[in-house]
Every structure is written in structure tokens, then in C-alpha cells.
């Protein structure tokens, strides 16, 4: 009979305690404004345990807190949250590339499962030879109501992601500041676009999958879009077309000067292909070099290349090949004997 993994036994015993303690001081995702009965916080605390169960064999899984710009109604810098994954056997005497992995969802968070398949994708990136940082930028769920309500869609959330990138470079001397790549789908793809357009000096390349790209176009088919803008910038902004334009990556397409790969899917009902095509058209009109691929009715819709089908795995191999050209990971060094 195979013995039970001690870590798994401990985690299973800890889950009821974590859930019962949700919202109280000392839980994994501490937040001062969370209530003891916040179900999102309970799910987050449980998922933090699952991250370690899923990846502890290949990575040092950690959470960290850092500061960002004040919220719209605040004066002090916000405390922000992020995850880091360092390959356990990474040779720390050498320089290695970093992937900034950005979750999607208007009020989503970095989680192990679901159709976004987070744990599997992080594992694949580690096996490719990367360290990974995954910020839960302002507006993410699992940290209490105030944190979620601090959403700044197309605004300060972009700075939050840059801040997580900078924290990793400052914290780990073996990470190469010149080899940092962005990976994001959906809302995460939108933030990846903003970062590569606005902060090109911080990144070597970016992948944007099914990215939210044009909020004026998006408003035509998504009834919740005005509410999201109102949450981010106030009620008057929800009726201001210029506000939608300012918060749309397509507006800044001409700024691109780093390698970019874009994927879209014609049957995506979450981010309709018209948005992705408008982004592509804007990049072409500006004469910016980039790569793109539009999949025709790929099974899985919005999540077609994040699930576990052969098509999804093939698509991710294309993504990883693109990243490899510019970030030059060394899987052997990431799994080497020089770790300490």
C-alpha cells in the first residue's frame, strides 16, 4: 500500500480550519476588511493550499505583499497581493527569465483550476525553465470587499502588474531584468497589452490570448461594461466615450515596439473576435510588427487553448516557442544542481 504524502495529509486536515478561520487574522490571504463569513475568502484560502499541493514538487510556492498606487478614494499606497513560483532546482548562480502571468476576469483571481487551468499552465512554464509571478491586482476577489471594489479597469491595475514584476527583480538577484515576458488571457491579455505598450523597457515580449482590446466595441455587446467603468472611475465616466477609449489597449497600439503574439477564436462569446480583429487592424495601420493567429471555431470557446485538449496543448506549444525566442530559458539550468 502506497503511503499517503505527509503534505497532502496535513493539507486535508488544514482545510476545515482554513475555511472556519476565513476573514480572521493570520489566514493565507489576509485582508483587514474581510468578514468572517466571506465565501470568496474561504475559497481563496482553500485554493492557496491547493497551489502548494499542485506545485510543491517542482517549485517554491510563495505569496507576497507589496504596495501600489492609492485607490481612487484613498490617499495611502494600496497593499497588493501576488504569488511567486521559483523552480526548486533552479541554479541560482546563473540568470534566468521571468514570466508575469496575469489572471483574467473582471473580479477574478489567480486560482488553480476552472477552465483557465492555472496550475497546469504554471507547471508548464516552470518546466520550460521560467520563474513565474502571478499578481492578484486591485479588484481581484478573495481579499475582502474593499479590495474588490478598488478595481481600476484599464487603469492602475496595469501599474499593479508592473509592480509585481519589479518586486521579483529586486527580490531575486538571479532573475534577469532584460528577460521578462508577459502572459495573459482575456482581461489578463488586456493588462499584458497595456504593459507592453506603456512600459516596453520592462519587458522583452508579450502573449495576449483572446484579449479585451476595445471597450467602445465591447460596450455594444456586454451590458455590464458601464457598471465596470463606473466602479473604476465613477458614474459620470460610464457615460463618457473618451473614458472607454482611454481604457482600451487598441488606443495605444502604435506604441508597440516589442515582440507581441496575439491569439483569438471566432466562436469566443466572452471576448468577441471583433475586438481582437480591431486590435490587429490598428497594429497593422500603425505599421507595428507583431504575430497573430485567429482560430476558426476552436472547441472550448474563450478557454480553447487553456484546457487539456490536443489542440490546446498544440496552441500552448506555439506560445512557449514564441516566448523562448525572446526569453531564452534553459530548462536544464532551471532543473540543475546549483539551487540553494
* Strand-pair partners of 80: 66
pLDDT of residue 19: 44
Asked if residue 194 is part of any domain, the answer here is yes
Q: What is the C-alpha separation between 191 and 180, in angstroms, rounded?
A: 15
The pTM of the full predicted model, rounded to 2 decimals, is 0.90
* Burial readout 223-255 (b: 16 or more C-beta within 10 A, e: otherwise): eebeebbebbbeeebbeeeebbeebbbbbbbee
Q: What is the C-alpha separation between 163 and 137, in angstroms, rounded?
A: 10
Asked if residue 224 is part of any domain, the answer here is no
Asked if residue 314 is part of any domain, the answer here is yes
Number of domains in the chain: 1
Q: What is the C-alpha separation between 125 and 108, in angstroms, rounded?
A: 21
* Strand-pair partners of 96: 175
What is the rounded end-to-end Cα distance, in angstroms, of the chain? 34
Instruction: Measure CA 287 to chain center.
Output: 28
Full domain range(s) for residue 118? 58-213+248-334
DSSP string of 81-106?
EEEEEEETT--TTS-EEEEEEE--ST
Q: What is the DSSP letter of 3?
A: P
Asked if residue 222 is part of any domain, the answer here is no
Q: What is the C-alpha separation between 321 and 319, in angstroms, rounded?
A: 5
Asked if residue 49 is part of any domain, the answer here is no
Sorted by sequence, the CB contacts under 8 Å of residue 134 that are 6+ apart come out as: 82, 83, 84, 85, 100, 101, 102, 103, 110, 118, 122, 164
Asked if residue 10 is part of any domain, the answer here is no
Kindly give the parts of the chain with pLDDT less than 70.
Answer: 1-37, 336-340
Asked if residue 273 is part of any domain, the answer here is yes
Q: What CATH number does the domain containing 261 carry? A: 3.40.50.1820
Asked if residue 279 is part of any domain, the answer here is yes
Amino acid at each position: 500500500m502506497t503511503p499517503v504524502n505527509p503534505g497532502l495529509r496535513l493539507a486535508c486536515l488544514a482545510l476545515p480550519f482554513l475555511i472556519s478561520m476565513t476573514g480572521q487574522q493570520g489566514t493565507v490571504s489576509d485582508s483587514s476588511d474581510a468578514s468572517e463569513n466571506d465565501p470568496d475568502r474561504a475559497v481563496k484560502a482553500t485554493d492557496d493550499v491547493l497551489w502548494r499541493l499542485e506545485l510543491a514538487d517542482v517549485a517554491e510556492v510563495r505569496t507576497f505583499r507589496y504596495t501600489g498606487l492609492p485607490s481612487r478614494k484613498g490617499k495611502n499606497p494600496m497593499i497588493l497581493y501576488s504569488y511567486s513560483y521559483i523552480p526548486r532546482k533552479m541554479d541560482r548562480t546563473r540568470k534566468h527569465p521571468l514570466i508575469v502571468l496575469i489572471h483574467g476576469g473582471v473580479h477574478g483571481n489567480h486560482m488553480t483550476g476552472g477552465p483557465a487551468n492555472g496550475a497546469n499552465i504554471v507547471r508548464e512554464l516552470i518546466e520550460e525553465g521560467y520563474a513565474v509571478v502571478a499578481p492578484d491586482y486591485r479588484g481581484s476577489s478573495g481579499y475582502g470587499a474593499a479590495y474588490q471594489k478598488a478595481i481600476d479597469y484599464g487603469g492602475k491595475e496595469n501599474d499593479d502588474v508592473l509592480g509585481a514584476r519589479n518586486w521579483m527583480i529586486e527580490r531575486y538577484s538571479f532573475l534577469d531584468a532584460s528577460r521578462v515576458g508577459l502572459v495573459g488571457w482575456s482581461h489578463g491579455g488586456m493588462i499584458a497589452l497595456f504593459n507592453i505598450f506603456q512600459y516596453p523597457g520592462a519587458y522583452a515580449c508579450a502573449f495576449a490570448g483572446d484579449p479585451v482590446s476595445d471597450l467602445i466595441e465591447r460596450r455594444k455587446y456586454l451590458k455590464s461594461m458601464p457598471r465596470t467603468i463606473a466602479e473604476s472611475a465613477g458614474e459620470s465616466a460610464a457615460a463618457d466615450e473618451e473614458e472607454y477609449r482611454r481604457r482600451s489597449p487598441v488606443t495605444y497600439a502604435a506604441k508597440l515596439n516589442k515582440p507581441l503574439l496575439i491569439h483569438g477564436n471566432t466562436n469566443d462569446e466572452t471576448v468577441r473576435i471583433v475586438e481582437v480583429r480591431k486590435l490587429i487592424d490598428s497594429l497593422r495601420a500603425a505599421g507595428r510588427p507583431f504575430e497573430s493567429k485567429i482560430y476558426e471555431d476552436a472547441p472550448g470557446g474563450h478557454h480553447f487553448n487553456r484546457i487539456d485538449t490536443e489542440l490546446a496543448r498544440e496552441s500552448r506549444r506555439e506560445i512557449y516557442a514564441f516566448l523562448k525566442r525572446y526569453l531564452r530559458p534553459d530548462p536544464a539550468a532551471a532543473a540543475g544542481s546549483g539551487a540553494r
